[in-house]
A and B are shown apart, each in its own frame.
Chain A
Amino acid sequence: MLLRYFIRRLLWMIPFLFVVSIVVFALIQAPPGDFLTTYVAKMAESNEGIDQATLERMREQYGLDRSLPVQYWKWISGLAVGDFGQSFEWNQSAWSVIKSRLPLTLVLMLSTFIFAWGVALPIGIYSAVRKYTVGDYVVTFFGFLGLATPNFLLALVVLYLGVRFFGVHMGGLFSDEYEGEPWSLAKVIDLYKHLWIGILVLGTAILASLIRIMRANLLDELSKPYVTTARAKGMAEWKLILKYPVRIALNPFISIIGIYFPALISGAVVTAVVLGYPTLGPLMLQSLLAQDMHLAGGILMIMCSLTVVGMLISDILLALLDPRVRYD
C-alpha cells in the first residue's frame, strides 16, 4: 500500500521537474552571449587565438546554431542520461565536477535536517507545556534572534569566535592529514568534527521557525476538551501530552518539511561559501561569476530537484504517522 503511494508521489514529481527544467534552461540562456562567446573571450585572455572554422564546428557540435526548443531538447535529453554538458572552467564534463561534490552536500543537508527537526521537537513541546515560564521566554528570544540573523552573519561570528578564543580556523571540512585520504571511520569522525559548525549555523535559523510552529500548534491542542477529560480521568501528565496532543501537533510540523527543505538548500549555499566547504553552493557561485553556464545550470537543476526529496520525506513521514492520510 505504502509502496504504491510512494510510487504515485514519485510520478507526480515528473511534471514538477519538467517545469523546473524550463525555468533553469531559461536562466542558463539569460546572460548575453552564449557558451562560445565566453569561451572565445577566455581564449583571447590567455592569448590563444581560435580560428573561425573551429568556432563554427564547435557551434554545430553544441547545437548552438539551432532554435531554442531544439537546444532545450538536446539539453534535457542529455540531463536524463547524466550528460550535463561541458564545463570550460574546469575543462571536463560538468557532471564529473558536480559528482565530486554531491555526496558532501547531501551529508550536510541531511545532517542539518535531522539536527533541526530532532532538536526542535522537544524544545517546542517544552516551550508549549511550560508556556510563559522563563524557559519559554528564553526559547522565544533565541528563536527570534535566529530568525533575524542571516546565515552568513552567524557563520562569520562563529569563525571569529573560533579564532579569537581558540586560535583555530574552523572553516573547511577536513583536517590536513585526512585531505585526499580514502574514507575511513577516523575520517568520518574528523568530518563531523568540522561539519557540526555548518550544521549548527544552518540549523539554528530553521530551528527557530520549527519551534514556533510546534509550540503554536501544540498550544492549540492543549486547550481542547479531550485533554481536560484525559487529565480529569487521572492520566499521567507527560504520558497524556505525548500520546495525544503531540501526535496531532506533529502533522504541520512534518508537512512543513516540504517548504523548509528549499530554504535549507538556499541557506547551505551562503553558509558553505563563508565556511569554505567543498559543496555545491560555492561551486555554483564560482561558476556563475565565471559565466560557466552549463555547470551552473546543472547545479541549479540538482538543487531544485533536491527540493523534491524534501517533499517526498514529508509525504512519507505523514503517511506513516497519521492513519488518516489516505494512500489513494
Chain B
Amino acid sequence: MTEHLHDDTPADTDGDESMLADGPPLADGRNTAVASQWQLMWWKFRRHRLAMAGLTVVVILYLIAAFAEFLAPFDPNSYDRKGGFHPPQAVHLIDRTEEGGLTIRPWVWETELTRDPRTLVSTYQATGEKTYLRWFGEGDSYELWGLIPGNRHLLTPVDPDKRFYLLGADRLGRDMLSRTIHGARLSLLIGLIGVAFSLVLGITLGGLAGYLGGWVDTVISRSVELVLSLPTIPIWLALAAALPATWSTETRYFFITLIVSLVGWTELARVVRGRFMSLKNDDFVVAAVLDNAPQRRVIFRHMLPSLTSHIIASVTLAVPLMILAETSLSFLGLGLMPPAISWGVLLKEAQDVRSIVLGPWLFAPGVAVVITVLAFNFLGDGLRDAADPYN
C-alpha cells in the first residue's frame, strides 16, 4: 500500500506531559516557565525514543546519499563479466601475518566461478586466496556532486583489478552495495523535492480555503475530497505514460516528482485549512487585523509561524509516501528509467522470480526502502506529538 500511511486517529495520551507548560523548573535545571516554544517542543520530542531513533536513521541515510560516491566501493555502472549474481561476501578484519601473528586489516575470500562437472550448476567457490582491502584507498574516479573530482573510496581492494561484493552483484556483475548507495540519492531526493512542491500547493490552497472561507473553501475542499477518493497508482501511471519517452533523465525526474507530489498536497491542505480556520479568530490575529495590517502580513507574519511545527510534522509524514510512490512507479516501468539509479529502478531488476531465486540479495534496495519509510514514520509521529507542546 502506498498511501494513507498515517491516519488522523487520536494518539495515545499518557497524560504525563500536561504539566510541562507552566510547571516549576525541572530537576535538571530546565525551566519550562521561560523556555521558548521550540525549546519545549525539543524537550517533548526527545522523550519519544522511537522518534529519536527515526531522526538518527534519517540523518544517516541523507549523509549516505550525500556522500554516495565516496561511500560506494565502486562506480555503480562498472561491471564484472565474471561476477554475475555473485553472492554477498563477509569482510574479515583480522588477518594472520606470515610469522603467524595477528594483524588488523580487512580482507575477503577470493572466489571463482566453477561448474560442477556432474550437475552442471555454476557456483562461486573460494579459491583459498585472499583479496586484501584498504580503507580510503584509490578506486574508480568520480566527481562528488558533479563538482569535486576524486577517486578515494571508504573501502577499496588493494589490487584495482579485483572486486568484492558486500551485498552481492546483480545480473551483469554490478556491485549491489554501490548501486543501493547511489540509488539512495534519487530516491531520498524525490521525497524532499516532491514535498516542496506539495508544500507550496498545500499551503496556498489550504490557506486560501481556511482564511477566505465561503465558496473558495467549498471548491477547494471538494477538490481535496475528489483527489482523495481517486485510486492514486492508476492515475499516476496514466500521467507518467503521457510523458514523452524521448525526454532526458533530468526532465523526466522533474516531472515524475511533480506527478508524485500530486497526492501529498491534499493532506497538507487539510491540515493547513483546519489550522487557519481555528487561528482566524484567535486574539493575536484579530488584533493584527484591527491594527490594519495588510492581509499578506497577517497571513505570513502572524498566522504561518504558529503553524510551522504542524506543517513540519505533516511534511515529514508525506515524505515516505512520495518515496513509496516513486518506487512503485519505477518498479512498474513508468517512473524513472535506467541509466537513472533509484531504489525503484533497482527493484525492477528483481521483477521476475528467476532473478530473485538466483540472487535474493537483489532485495537489498527494498530493505533500504522499508528502513527509510519506517524511520520517517517514527520521526513524523514524534514530531506530530511534539508539535503542540502546550497540550
Q: List A residues at the B interface (Cβ < 8 Å).
A: 16, 19-20, 23-24, 27, 30-32, 131, 144-145, 147-153, 156-157, 159-160, 163-164, 169, 171, 202, 205-206, 209, 212-213, 216-217, 219-220, 252, 256, 258-260, 262-263, 265-267, 269-270, 273-274, 281, 284-285, 288-289, 291, 296, 299-300, 303-304, 306-307, 311
Contact = CB atoms under 8 A, between A and B. Distances in A.
Interface in B1-23: 1-5, 7, 9-12
B331 A30 contact: no
B370 A159 contact: no
Contact of B4 (A150, A160, A263, A288): A263
B245 to A, nearest CB: 10
B242 interface: yes
Contacts of B333: 285, 289
Contact of B331 (A23, A152, A266): A152
Contacts of A164: 357, 360
Contact residues of A: prevailing secondary structure: helix
Contact of B356 (A150, A156, A216): A156
B233 A270 contact: yes
B356 A148 contact: no
B328 A270 contact: yes
Contacts of B334: 285, 288-289
B99 to A, nearest CB: 45
B369 interface: yes
B328 A152 contact: yes
A45 to B, nearest CB: 15
Contacts of A291: 241
B231 A260 contact: no
Given A27-B235, A27-B238, A149 B357 contact: no
Interface string B235-258: 101110110100000000000000
Contact of B363 (A32, A145, A156, A273): A156
B327 interface: yes
Contact of A216 (B10, B366, B369): B10
A304 B226 CA distance: 10
A306 B331 CA distance: 25
Contacts of A311: 229
23 contacts: A16-B226, A24-B238, A131-B12, A145-B374, A148-B373, A150-B369, A152-B347, A163-B353, A163-B357, A217-B9, A252-B9, A263-B2, A263-B4, A265-B231, A266-B232, A269-B233, A281-B234, A285-B332, A289-B334, A296-B241, A304-B230, A307-B230, A311-B229
Nearest to A162: B353
